[in-house]
């Protein structure tokens, strides 16, 4: 039976937005809340990266405690006037409350309170939404690749005597990123220089993340010659295949046989990637654990822990040199038949990935003389075993 997906509680959502405003990464927020980074991303993007305004119950409306009192009074057969006197409310208020929630026989405090909370959502018309001329002018300038700040500043200068034709850059950003407002077409976001789909916190930073810097990494130039000439099995190349909504699959390819393993990862951060890949590598016999070549991505920053866990030495490519992992790059192109660009990998289980890897490993390869990767690896292991 499939496990039921647990939604975030209001407190967890508040914590999510607090961490987002602090500039924490999607993976960090996901780990703190026990959720996948893709789940966090979906919530953030739905609101354009802009925390929704907290909702408050007005003091003049009925509280949950008052609704419970109405429920008890209605069940006891008390009149609306008697219940209202107890609450210090007008009898008409109590009568309307009972009537709009199914009458005396059906009235329940919890359901009535939830209905009232839902009905209270009355989104206000934004300044852009209520001014067609301003909306059109902003859209025209965005189409010319003007930034929201440039548009706002230009309007203050050129329309100084027309307050109704001025708008802040934040309002423009909100109208672009929060499509539920229905003000500016989402295609206009493509004209933003950042290319982002959500507002980032001003405190978001990559400082301290050592991006592109692998501490203690050993260069590919020190890799054993047997790995370079593919003479023996056991030398691997690895990378991440990226999908939408911050979803990723780790791909491992054995250089001699082109045998492929796919690994489900819960995030791009090094802790998740190293743990998942190490778990998969430990299923291999020791004779197939000689080396792993990776690019300079920080997902393998904890390579020393990886080597201790797997007895597999890690070597790193030179910066911006994907051809040094040519076998893996080619395999990733083959995998796009099963995982095309523009799709999310979040719904795939490890069993699903194993099934795709099996299909790829059982396909004849021209570079192997039309032998299959699985067949080649089995034959070589049997000969050397």
Residue 291: is its pLDDT beyond 70? yes
> Helix, strand, or coil here: 368?
helix
Whether 247 and 339 map to the same domain: the answer is yes
Whether 344 and 372 map to the same domain: the answer is yes
Whether 367 and 254 map to the same domain: the answer is yes
Whether 113 and 68 map to the same domain: the answer is yes
Most confident stretch, 153-162, 209-218, 351-360: 351-360
Q: How would you write 233-274 as a 3-class SS string?
A: CCEEEEEEEECCCCCEEEEEEECCCCCEEEEECCCCCHHHHH
Cα dihedral sign, 137-142-146-152: positive
Within-domain flag for 95: yes
Q: Which residue has the tokens 């300038």?
A: 141
Per-residue pLDDT, 208: 46
Whether 164 and 261 map to the same domain: the answer is no
Domain that holds residue 76: 64-119
- CA 29, CA 35: separation in Å to the nearest integer? 8
Within-domain flag for 245: yes
What number is the average pLDDT over the span 76-95? Answer: 92
CB under 8 Å, gap of 24 or more: what pairs does 90-97 form? 93/62, 94/70, 97/62, 97/67, 97/70
Domain count, the chain: 4
Whether 259 and 364 map to the same domain: the answer is yes
Whether 287 and 365 map to the same domain: the answer is yes
Whether 225 and 139 map to the same domain: the answer is no
- Of 71-75, 128-132, 156-160, 193-197, the poorest mean pLDDT is in 193-197
Whether 371 and 222 map to the same domain: the answer is yes
Within-domain flag for 73: yes
- How many residues does the structure list for the chain? 385
- CA 297, CA 213: separation in Å to the nearest integer? 8
Within-domain flag for 274: yes
Which region, left, alpha or beta, applies to residue 342 given φ > 0 means left and ψ of -120 to 50 means alpha?
A: left
Whether 40 and 149 map to the same domain: the answer is no
Within-domain flag for 52: no
Q: Work out the pLDDT band at 80, boundaries 50, 70, 90.
A: very high
Per-residue pLDDT, 180: 55
H or E stretch covering 86: helix 80-87
Per-residue pLDDT, 209: 45
> Helix, strand, or coil here: 375?
helix
Give ∠ CA 359-350-40 in degrees, rounded to 5: 130
Strands 248-254 and 260-264: antiparallel
Within-domain flag for 244: yes
Kindly list the distances between the CA atom of residue 59 and the CA atoms of 56, 63, 274, in Å, as whole numbers in the listed order.
9, 8, 52
Cα dihedral sign, 276-279-283-288: positive
Closest CA to 45 of 154, 180, 159: 180
Whether 226 and 359 map to the same domain: the answer is yes
What number is the average pLDDT over the span 139-166? Answer: 88
Whether 115 and 170 map to the same domain: the answer is no
Within-domain flag for 230: yes
Q: Work out the pLDDT band at 25, boundaries 50, 70, 90.
A: confident
Cα dihedral sign, 158-162-165-171: positive
Which region, left, alpha or beta, applies to residue 20 given φ > 0 means left and ψ of -120 to 50 means alpha?
A: alpha
Strands 313-316 and 291-294: parallel
Within-domain flag for 203: no
Residues 6+ apart with CB under 8 A from 35: 8
Residue 379, both tokens: 């034959």
Residue 333, both tokens: 């192109």
Helical axes 350-361 vs 373-384, angle rounded to 10°:
80
- CA 367, CA 23: separation in Å to the nearest integer? 47
Closest CA to 268 of 3, 2, 36: 36
Residue 198: is its pLDDT beyond 60? yes
Residue 147: is its pLDDT beyond 50? yes
């Amino acid at each position: 039976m499939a496990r039921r997906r647990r939604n975030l509680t209001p407190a967890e959502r508040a914590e999510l937005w607090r961490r987002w405003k602090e500039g924490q990464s999607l993976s960090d927020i996901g780990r703190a809340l026990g959720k996948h980074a893709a789940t966090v991303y979906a919530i953030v993007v739905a609101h354009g990266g802009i925390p929704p305004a907290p909702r408050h119950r007005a003091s003049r409306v009925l509280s949950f405690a008052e609704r419970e009192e109405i429920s008890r009074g209605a069940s006891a057969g008390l009149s609306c006037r008697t219940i209202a006197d107890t609450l210090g409310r007008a009898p008409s208020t109590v009568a309307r409350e009972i009537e709009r929630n199914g009458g005396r026989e059906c009235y329940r405090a919890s359901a009535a309170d939830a209905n009232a909370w839902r009905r209270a959502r009355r989104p206000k018309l934004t300044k852009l939404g209520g001014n067609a001329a301003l909306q059109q002018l902003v859209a025209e300038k965005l189409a010319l690749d003007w930034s929201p700040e440039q548009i706002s500043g230009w309007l203050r200068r050129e329309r100084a005597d027309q307050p109704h034709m001025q708008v802040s850059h934040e309002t423009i950003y909100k109208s672009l990123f929060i499509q539920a407002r229905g003000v500016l077409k989402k295609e206009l976001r493509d004209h933003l220089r950042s290319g982002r789909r959500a507002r980032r916190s001003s405190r978001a930073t990559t400082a301290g993340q050592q991006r592109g810097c692998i501490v203690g990494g050993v260069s590919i130039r020190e890799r054993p010659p047997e790995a370079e000439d593919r003479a023996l099995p056991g030398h691997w190349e690895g990378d991440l295949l990226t999908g939408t909504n911050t979803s990723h699959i780790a791909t491992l390819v054995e250089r001699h046989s082109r045998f492929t393993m796919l690994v489900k990862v819960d995030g791009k951060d090094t802790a998740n990637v190293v743990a998942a890949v190490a778990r998969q590598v430990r299923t291999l016999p020791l004779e197939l654990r000689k080396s792993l070549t990776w690019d300079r991505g920080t997902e393998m920053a904890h390579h020393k822990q990886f080597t201790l866990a797997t007895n597999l030495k890690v070597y790193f490519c030179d910066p911006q040199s994907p051809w040094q992992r040519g076998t893996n790059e080619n395999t990733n192109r083959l995998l796009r038949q099963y995982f095309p660009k523009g799709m999310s990998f979040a719904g795939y289980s490890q069993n699903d990935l194993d099934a795709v890897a099996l299909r790829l490993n059982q396909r004849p390869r021209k570079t192997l003389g039309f032998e299959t990767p699985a067949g080649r690896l089995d034959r070589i292991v049997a000969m050397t075993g």
